Amino acid sequence: MSRSALAASLAAAAVIATVAVAGSGGPSPVPTADAAAPFSVSKKQFTTVQKVSIAAVKRSNANAKAIAALQTTATTAGSGGAGPKGDPGPAGGFDPTKVSRVTGPNEVLNPIAAYNSTTVTCPAGSIAIGGGWYLEAGAENGQLHVARSYPSPTLSNWSLRIRYTGAAVANLTPYAICAGA
């Protein structure tokens, strides 16, 4: 329904309600199914209809203004010419050529010692994305206990906290997987 049609129907409803309230109680000027029955509206009903009508007209006006604003924005947004082309950005994605394995110093694990800690630092400008260890051949793998294997908060290195309980001394080589910028 258009805004003018809505306003006209609301005005007609208000006129009918006003006539009925102000009338002398005679027959309704509006034809009904039963022409002999009087048409009347209480003051409370009239006030309710009036408030609802006013609110509807206000919403309709607000919607019309919003639509006009959107139409104006849509026509002005697309009217300008293209601006100058910018510089290309850096290439995205993962570059496997910038991943390296950095080996830390050899750790001598004594079976009677407590836990050992070791850290492998990545080269400047790269971050640790993983890490691990290599236990020398012949050592008892089942006797190596890894309490922690983790990156530093800044991702600049990878640390291990380990204990070896084998029968003899063993050598362990820690490493970090580092990704460059």
Per residue in 2-22, pLDDT (tens digit) is 555 555 555 555 545 444 444
List the domain range (segments joined by +) for residue 17.
3-70
pTM of this structure = 0.48
What's the confidence (pLDDT) of residue 147?
Answer: 92
Give the integer Cα–Cα distance in Å for 13 and 26. Answer: 18
Per residue in 22-72, pLDDT (tens digit) is 444 445 455 545 555 555 778 888 888 888 888 888 888 888 888 888 877
Tell whether 128 is covered by a domain: yes
State how many domains the chain has.
2
| 20 and 64 together in one domain | yes
Tell whether 90 is covered by a domain: no
